[in-house]
Structure 1
């Protein structure tokens, strides 16, 4: 045991002797300060306790201050994460709303389309003399107006058949193919329709003008005082071109030029489905 202590002393002295003067002083000062601090701590002096508590307070304060940036960074990270989550949720909700709105509009269109078809089919069931046709395209020029239908000879479509929209006259069949047919509209300049002004029973001819209104021809001036803008004109059925009583339009008098024009009941820019009347062929054959 004594030998071990001697070896420790010898080693300490050897290390101490190897140091330079400055290093020796520093090491010696550190040893003395440590011994003094241990002695003072063991004596439990009040000033030492206060100094120790003060040092601990300083350490704690420094720890709190040092932890502030970390807390701020963590708070900013959590806020950014929450913001991104809210943004993603809002984006998903907007996408769902747009999808819902698109589906709603599509459903509204389908419902409207079905209602129109049901109305047309219901009218067709009341009268078996009608053939429902879809307008495929329109061929419009400054003077020539016609539409193409998706019905042809395979559907018993024939030349001269009347075509109506909501029971209002649209035109007549002038060309028939196996799957399609062409209709000349009443607005076409080549369209000449025998008409009758009701309730006066005055006969005239309704001609197309290439525009959205027609003109009244072959009307004697002696009838002018009897006619006003509130009168309607229908097909007369003369010559068997159309069956009588199909509404054409409402009369309008141009007092300046002393001519009558016809505001057609049908809106030719909105044609989607039309009805082809096959009964007028029977009327035509009967008159022949």
Structure 2
């Protein structure tokens, strides 16, 4: 009986403990949920400044990255600008070389191409230094052209370079021809931008825009090289405006022109060939007479007795000489 009671007491005790623990767990969970509901708005309010600070720090990092990226793009842009300038410079140089190749010269004229490496000009001397040596066939007096036309002539040569005197120099004298009139003149430099046009014929009538080319007189320069056009000065005198802009010229040609020293026309050649053929033919001998050794006898029409005189002369020549003793007898 006592053991039964003890078991009942133990069982009731365990059941009470289990009931109380379960009830306590429910109360704890409920209390935790209430506290969570009460603290949620406060946590939300407290998280806003933290989020703002976090966003500010992130934006600061982005700003630093943007500044770094901007600096990198600026450096890349400067490099691309340098490449662009170099490409434009090469494009202009290629265009000048192509234009220089288009300059029309006689096929028989040899030339040397060079680059202007210096400007020895000043207030009284207008000249260029070209990197073409004397070994390239350059001689004093040769014409120098660029992609627009004549710019001057060679005045001296050396082992590594040559000196070119420009058309505008005070010492420049170039024989020219004004078209379409064909008037011959001399382009005279006076250290100004527009050389003078002197020694024109009295009947010359020039108009602004008339073309000026080389005449070829003197044998140093080939004819028909473009030089410029005619412009009128304030005093009414004609001046030369060159086709070339000397301050922009970089590449030139030095023309190795040989003046023709012998000119043979077609009619002269035919006459010379006929003379040679006539000289090669044998001279026909006269009948019953010996060929004349030095002089030829010519009968002139209308002169009577000429033929008789000829026959008597032949007879006298044919008669034998009579000895002096037989003549006395």
Could you tell me the TM-score, scaled by structure 1's length? 0.72
CA distance in 2 between counterparts of 1:120 and 1:222 reads: 36
Cα 1:215–1:107 shift into 2, 3 Å: same
What are the residue-to-residue correspondences of 1:1-288 with 2, within 5 Å?
Answer: 56-121=36-101, 127=107, 129-166=110-147, 168-223=149-204, 226-254=205-233, 257-279=235-257, 282-283=258-259
Unaligned 5+ runs, structure 2: 1-22, 264-329
Report the secondary structure of 1:245's partner residue: coil
Unaligned 5+ runs, structure 1: 1-40
Report the secondary structure of 1:248's partner residue: strand
Structure 1 equivalent of residue 10 of structure 2: none
Report the secondary structure of 1:160's partner residue: coil
Q: Alpha-carbon deviation of 1:50?
A: 9.6
Q: Alpha-carbon deviation of 1:176?
A: 0.5
Count of aligned pairs: 241
**Contact kept? 1:120, 1:132, Cα under 8 Å:** no
Report the secondary structure of 1:239's partner residue: coil
Q: Alpha-carbon deviation of 1:207?
A: 0.4
Q: Alpha-carbon deviation of 1:284?
A: 6.8
RMSD, aligned CA: 3.2
Structure with the bigger percentage of helix? 1
CA distance in 1 between counterparts of 2:227 and 2:95 reads: 25
Using the TM superposition, name which of 49-58 and 262-271 deviates more: 49-58
CA distance in 1 between counterparts of 2:86 and 2:219 reads: 44
Structure 2 equivalent of residue 27 of structure 1: none
CA distance in 2 between counterparts of 1:199 and 1:124 reads: 19
CA distance in 1 between counterparts of 2:169 and 2:105 reads: 31
Q: Alpha-carbon deviation of 1:175?
A: 0.9
Report the secondary structure of 2:156's partner residue: strand
CA distances 1:112-143 after superposition (whole Å, capped 9, x unpaired): 32343345357699846121110001122222
CA distance in 2 between counterparts of 1:157 and 1:218 reads: 30
Using the TM superposition, name which of 267-276 and 103-112 deviates more: 103-112
Using the TM superposition, name which of 138-147 and 267-276 deviates more: 138-147
CA distance in 2 between counterparts of 1:131 and 1:191 reads: 22
Cα 1:257–1:52 shift into 2, 3 Å: closer
Cα 1:111–1:201 shift into 2, 3 Å: closer
**Contact kept? 1:124, 1:130, Cα under 8 Å:** no
CA distance in 2 between counterparts of 1:246 and 1:122 reads: 13
**Contact kept? 1:162, 1:173, Cα under 8 Å:** yes
Report the secondary structure of 1:213's partner residue: coil
Cα 1:156–1:202 shift into 2, 3 Å: same
Larger of the two Rg values belongs to structure: 2
Q: Alpha-carbon deviation of 1:208?
A: 0.6
